[in-house]
Structure 1
């Protein structure tokens, strides 16, 4: 089973850790590294501004600032330890062809992927893939979505499940990509005994992946063998959540403090 990893250039957890993991049970044939431009990042912020309005957007910006000042250092320390653990489990990531691009839908990326002809593609990126990329791998393109779908779609599902106190849906979804936003067939829901008192929402979001890598490898094996069946999610609530808000973060922390004080 030939695989390709698509991830952001600055995310060592994906670029090193998940690359090594993929190489442990597939033939990792290539990596697409996305190095977004400042213009792309500004465009993402403008989309969020249009979606939530000025006041709520300030809430989003305040959360970003708080994250950098109060949370980021501990998150980085956790990532370093997680990478060390993954190196012990899976070794160093294999040396494979790579391409660096600003957009996953660039013509050069498509040509690179066609040359590799992957069976499986794992997309760990914030960009939406066009249909010609989605349909390229024989088995499909998959995401490890940070949230339980369909209830928590978009990129911050763990945060919103925590903020909503929907603790049974703090987890990750193995999703086969289609033309929608996190709306494709679901091949698994995963979680772990998270500690919301001591772990940040970012750590929880990454640990729902790292704690389930063996189960995910088994599931990809079943997909390759044709024995895996999607989970029926018809009739379940579906919501597309946006960026974390500082007000909701502080509400979550108050709820955790209240619960642990009992």
Structure 2
């Protein structure tokens, strides 16, 4: 059997992509679909902002939580302002964020809901990839009979959580502006690393485009990680450095970093 035939053969295995939806996951779905013909998407409903706000307030206090929510609102409102840069990133990587009617999508209330567990049991995937979704519970991870791979828009373990690219630049740590493709465990971005990707942001990039740039740049590594999982050749490693959890910046922190450091 030729190498090409071997590649085609293992890529016919069942693969699941789990997500809460959005433009960035659609980039990944559209890139994977032609290569992995038995790709199925399980899409959960995004968490309500009120639930997110209460959880953040419990951890960080109400003032910080409201400040983070304000930044999320500003970021959403600013999407149109960065549309040209977003389209340039997508085009430069030969990608598409359009809906793909050819890919089967299973809708569930949550990836931690029994409906998701039932879908996994029915599909019997050989690999799962997660993009932009909630933390998987121990019960969900136990229900998945194969490696679970995550695309994280930050370099682990220094930039776990949210907005890893933004925080690397805000901290003057430009060499760690990047993404990590890693295995999923019960922690937040704590599973073994598989690949690290470090693209170079342009001056026109901001908090509103960093995740898109990192997602687009990381897709070839996601494909490689899936190939590794399907051929039993995954080689996870524990990356060095201090582990730190990050969240969206509060509005005043974002404004300060923008004015003082030019990091928007």
| CA distance in structure 1 between the partners assigned to 2:86 and 2:129 by the alignment | 20
Question: Does the alignment pair 1:245 with 2:250?
Answer: yes
Per the alignment, residue 140 of structure 2 pairs with 133
Deviation at 1:137, TM superposition (A): 4.4
Cα RMSD of the aligned pairs, angstroms, is 2.8
* Pairs aligned (count): 251
Deviation at 1:144, TM superposition (A): 0.4
Which residues of structure 2 form unaligned runs of 5+? 1-12
C-alpha contact (below 8 Å) 1:152/1:238 kept by paired residues: yes
Question: Does the alignment pair 1:168 with 2:168?
Answer: no
C-alpha contact (below 8 Å) 2:128/2:147 kept by paired residues: yes
Moved >3 Å (runs of 4+):
75-94, 135-139, 255-258
1:146-183: per-residue Cα shift (whole Å, max 9, x none)? 11111111122122212212111111111111111111
Question: Does the alignment pair 1:27 with 2:43?
Answer: no
Question: Does the alignment pair 1:61 with 2:89?
Answer: no
So what's the TM-score if we normalise by structure 2? 0.82
C-alpha contact (below 8 Å) 2:158/2:243 kept by paired residues: yes
Residue 115 to residue 79, structure 1, CA distance change in 2 (3 Å):
farther
Question: Does the alignment pair 1:7 with 2:13?
Answer: no
Deviation at 1:104, TM superposition (A): 0.9
So what's the TM-score if we normalise by structure 1? 0.83
Residue 179 to residue 85, structure 1, CA distance change in 2 (3 Å):
same
Residue 81 to residue 238, structure 1, CA distance change in 2 (3 Å):
same
Deviation at 1:202, TM superposition (A): 3.0
Deviation at 1:80, TM superposition (A): 5.1
Pick which of 146-155 and 48-57 moved more.
Answer: 48-57
C-alpha contact (below 8 Å) 2:25/2:132 kept by paired residues: no
Which residues of structure 1 form unaligned runs of 5+? none
Residue 46 to residue 117, structure 1, CA distance change in 2 (3 Å):
same
1:182 is matched with which residue: 167, 180, 189? 189
